[in-house]
Structure 1
Amino acid sequence: MLEEAKEWLSRRSWEAADRPLPQLLDAKRAAGAAGSISVVLPALNEEATVGAIVETLRRDLMEDVPLIDELMVVDSGSTDRTSEVAAAAGAKVVHRDEILPRVPTVQGKGEVLWRSLLATSGEIVCFVDADLRDFESRFVYGILGPLLTEPDVQLVKAMYDRPLGDNPGGARQGGRVTELVARPLLNLHWPQLAGVVQPLGGEYAGRRSLLERLPFPVGYGVELGMLIDTLHLAGLDAVGQVDVGVRKHRHQDGQALGRMAAAILRTAQSRLPGSVMPIRLGLTQFERTDDGGFAPQTHPIDADERPPMATVPEYAVRRAA
């Protein structure tokens, strides 16, 4: 299986520069309605970065080159000025709770991505994390390229270097959960996916016809779950990846990464044959106390998954309309 992954790596990996913007625009026009594109930024307290991302995408890929049809920020309950900054920069802003209000919302990135399928209209949907710094539009047009020019590709992941902070010595030290959890899991249980450079990366695009058939883990397991489910549903050659350079973003502390790792492990285990897992999990971590001891804190790891959006009645009605 690892040989298959290596062979896939050579056939399904590209660079953003391989498909210049004029070529993509021609391909989009030739595709007609099937080439319509929505870009979604899930955002929670990202007022410091979301505006610059929206401004760049609107300028480069809507005004200078009309590649994107819809640019949406889905606010996941921010307590800062994320919504105001995003709207001022030119995005359509929708609050998570306004989408499918009959279904109570839960916290989690996957929850927001799942609901965004109902709120958007493009036949190609591109997701971009809202905490990126020094953002460039190739992060988006790079991963859109294969979907506009390769009919059999259905899901495209961005790949990149992930520096850890601004220290030159940490040039490739970001992505700690990827290297310690996700990559070993894929190599052990889904070796066909061993060639995916950034399996947990938040920048990827997919055809709606695929995304609407996938379950969405509500939390941090969404990216890994999507990869595994796409492999099972559409096959390895439905997946591609594009090198977009360097990704700079906010890094979380070790305990937060531990909670993320637990959610990803839970998502992976639930996809192993014969696995039976409890819906609610807890992760116990420890804090040093003032008296020199350790105090346990148990954090819930929500393992809920949303059903494929194609099974939601409101979605079917909207698509029919």
Structure 2
Amino acid sequence: MLEEVERWLAGRSWSAADRPLDQLLAAKSRTGQTVSVVLPALDEEATVGTIVEIIRRDLMSAAVPLVDELIVVDSGSTDRTAEVAAAAGARVVHRDAILPRLATVPGKGEVLWRSLLATSGDIVCFVDADLREFSADFVSGIVGPLLTEPQVQFVKAMYDRPLGEGAGGPKAGQGGRVTELVARPLLNLHWPQLAGFVQPLGGEYAARRSLLEQLPFPVGYGVELGLLVDALHTVGLDALAQVDVGVRKHRHQDGQALGRMAAAIYRTAQLRLARGHLVRPRLTQFDRGEQGGFVPRTTDVDTEERPPMRGIPEYEERRAA
């Protein structure tokens, strides 16, 4: 298995600089593929506008028409996320307006799943809306292999993830805490073919619509792990790739949020290892009480998944049209 991972790393790991924009535009023109970019957003007014502006400026101009569609899916923001994104030039759609006959549930995966019905590109690129010091390489880098390599179907971004600022500057490589403590051990133990992915939980990835519409989507934090594992089983390792896009800076979650994320990711893995044999899990965490001592707080771990989009009548009707 180690030899297979090393072979994959040598043949399916690239840098964004490996495919200049002129090469991507030529491939896009030659193949006729279209590209949609989706930003799932919840209370991201501080960053979403800049991301939208950079994508529009660098990848949607008459000179560089790489991206055909840019959509921000607002999942219930209480700040000015929607207004800021629209002012920057994105098409903004509220999560609840997509497939309204089906009641929404909280979670990032829910938003990504619904976005397939709100977009039309042959290639769909997901980018988190909380990124700082954003570069268009995050989009062009991961879209590139899908435009130039017909056999590639799913591409993850890889990057350094600094954790705040220390005395010597950014603490490089320490930002992926749930990745290192939960996701990477799970993948190495149960899906060793995926051990070569540097950032398996990263929110920046692109895939062919024809693949995404076949996959179930965990509605919450487990969506990235679930899609990666299911893509492996659906199209095989050589259809997966990763691209180095530099450094990813974003807002970090607190310890309890990371605990909930870790539980959802573990549950997503467990479900794929033993479908049909789970009880609904719950997670108890603790806060210091106002009167001293610790107060337990128990929450349900995400357990729902959305079915492959190909089974949704509204999506099939749109495809037929």
TM-score bracket relative to the smaller structure: over 0.9
Q: 1:136 — aligned with what?
A: 135
Q: 1:21 — aligned with what?
A: 21
Q: Output the CA distance in 1 between the equivalents of 2:73 and 2:128.
A: 11
- Say yes or no: does 1:48 pair with 2:76: no
Q: CA deviation at 1:169?
A: 5.4
* 1:1-321 correspondence runs (5 A): 1-32=1-32, 35-63=33-61, 64-167=63-166, 168=169, 170-273=171-274, 276-278=277-279, 280-321=280-321
Q: What whole-Å deviation, never above 9, does each CA across 1:261-283 have from its counterpart, x for those lacking one?
A: 000000000011466112x3210
**2:128 match: secondary structure:** coil
Residues 155, 242 of structure 2: 8 Å contact kept:
yes
Q: Output the CA distance in 2 between the equivalents of 1:92 and 1:274.
A: 38
Q: Output the CA distance in 2 between the equivalents of 1:290 and 1:228.
A: 43
Residues 164, 170 of structure 2: 8 Å contact kept:
no
Q: What whole-Å deviation, never above 9, does each CA across 1:9-38 have from its counterpart, x for those lacking one?
A: 111000000000000000000011xx1000
Residues 269, 275 of structure 1: 8 Å contact kept:
no
After TM superposition, the structure 1 stretch with the greater mean CA deviation from structure 2, 267-276 or 143-152, is 267-276
Q: CA RMSD in A?
A: 0.9
Counterpart AA for 2:55: L
Q: CA deviation at 1:291?
A: 2.8
Q: Which runs of 5+ in 2 are unaligned?
A: none
- Normalising by the residue count of structure 1, what TM-score does the alignment of the two structures yield? 0.98
Q: CA deviation at 1:115?
A: 0.1
- Normalising by the residue count of structure 2, what TM-score does the alignment of the two structures yield? 0.98
Q: Output the CA distance in 1 between the equivalents of 2:295 and 2:252.
A: 25
Q: Output the CA distance in 1 between the equivalents of 2:301 and 2:43.
A: 21
Counterpart AA for 1:88: A
Q: Output the CA distance in 2 between the equivalents of 1:187 and 1:90.
A: 41
Counterpart AA for 2:310: A
Q: Output the CA distance in 2 between the equivalents of 1:224 and 1:293.
A: 36
Runs (4+) of structure 1 moved beyond 6 Å?
none
**2:287 match: secondary structure:** strand
Q: Output the CA distance in 1 between the equivalents of 2:124 and 2:257.
A: 28
